[in-house]
């Protein structure tokens, strides 16, 4: 059976975004206090790679961001998010909303806190990307990772699309296979702009990064903490003199 995975990059703002209520106060309070300050809003500007003459003129007007997603601080000037957020690979419906055709090649420019971000390392198979940013306004930290989970373990997702803090709690469900790669799955309700959001356990350890949603099974799909840790450590080790 072919599984269709929906990604959650926010391409338009239709209504105000409200945080979901907490269902486990002890877990939510602990994680929020320790981790929510590290989640950031990613401003995305999608454009055609090869615009025609008219589109070049229009692009000069610089209408600003036409999409938003989330990311989180993982080190000095480093932010992690989902790879599809920065890949320019939008679904057909979101292409239509933004006025792009199905065959248009897109490029995306990312800003964090008004600063241009650069993609420095990716793991496309795990849907992960590491960005270099000029300023995060946060203290330098490396997240603690949890690579093994128990069924029904309580989880917390923290998103910040368009600058709006969004918090959603849920439970770990189990392994999830997508395109030959292993992800986690969880019972977490989806919202636009969740793509790239960190997902934590009750100890405030990172278990993974929100990647998409399988509507057929009502499961959030999460890139695993082990792949996120590998991506970060690979970049840090290669950057050392």
Q: b vs e for 79-100, b when ≥16 Cβ sit within 10 Å of the residue's Cβ?
A: bbbbbbbbbbebeeebbeeeeb
Q: Which of 152, 182, 176, 138 is nearest to 35 (CA)?
A: 138
Show me where the domains of the chain are located. Answer: 143-234
pLDDT by residue, tens only, the chain of 241 residues? 455 666 666 654 333 333 444 444 555 676 777 788 899 999 999 888 865 454 443 444 456 777 899 999 999 899 999 999 998 887 788 888 888 888 888 888 999 988 999 999 999 999 999 999 986 666 677 889 988 888 999 999 999 988 888 999 999 999 999 888 999 999 999 888 899 999 999 889 999 999 999 999 999 999 999 999 999 999 998 876 6
CA separation for the pair 221, 7 (Å, rounded): 9
May I ask the CATH class of domain 143-234? Answer: mainly beta
Is the dihedral angle over the CA atoms 17, 187, 36, 44 positive or is it negative?
negative
């Amino acid at each position: 059976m072919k599984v269709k995975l929906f990604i959650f990059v926010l391409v338009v703002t239709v209504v105000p975004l409200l945080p979901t209520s907490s269902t486990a106060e002890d877990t939510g309070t602990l994680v929020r206090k320790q981790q929510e300050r590290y989640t950031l809003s990613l401003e995305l500007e999608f454009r055609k790679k090869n615009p025609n003459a008219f589109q070049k003129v229009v692009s000069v007007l610089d209408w600003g961001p036409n999409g938003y997603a989330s990311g989180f601080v993982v080190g000095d000037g480093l932010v992690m998010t989902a790879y599809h957020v920065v890949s320019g690979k939008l679904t057909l419906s979101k292409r239509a909303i933004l006025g792009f055709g199905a065959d248009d090649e897109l490029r995306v420019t990312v800003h964090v806190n008004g600063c241009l971000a650069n993609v420095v390392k990716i793991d496309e198979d795990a849907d992960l990307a590491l960005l270099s940013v000029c300023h995060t306004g946060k203290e330098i930290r490396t997240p603690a990772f949890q690579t093994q989970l128990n069924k029904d373990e309580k989880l917390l997702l923290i998103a910040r699309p368009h600058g709006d803090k969004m918090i959603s709690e849920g439970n770990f469900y189990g392994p999830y296979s997508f395109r030959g790669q292993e992800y986690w799955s969880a019972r977490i309700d989806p919202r636009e702009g969740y793509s790239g959001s960190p997902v934590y356990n009750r100890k405030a350890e990172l278990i993974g990064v929100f990647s998409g949603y399988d509507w057929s099974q009502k499961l959030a799909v999460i890139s695993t903490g082990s792949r996120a840790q590998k991506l970060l450590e690979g970049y840090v080790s290669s950057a050392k003199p």
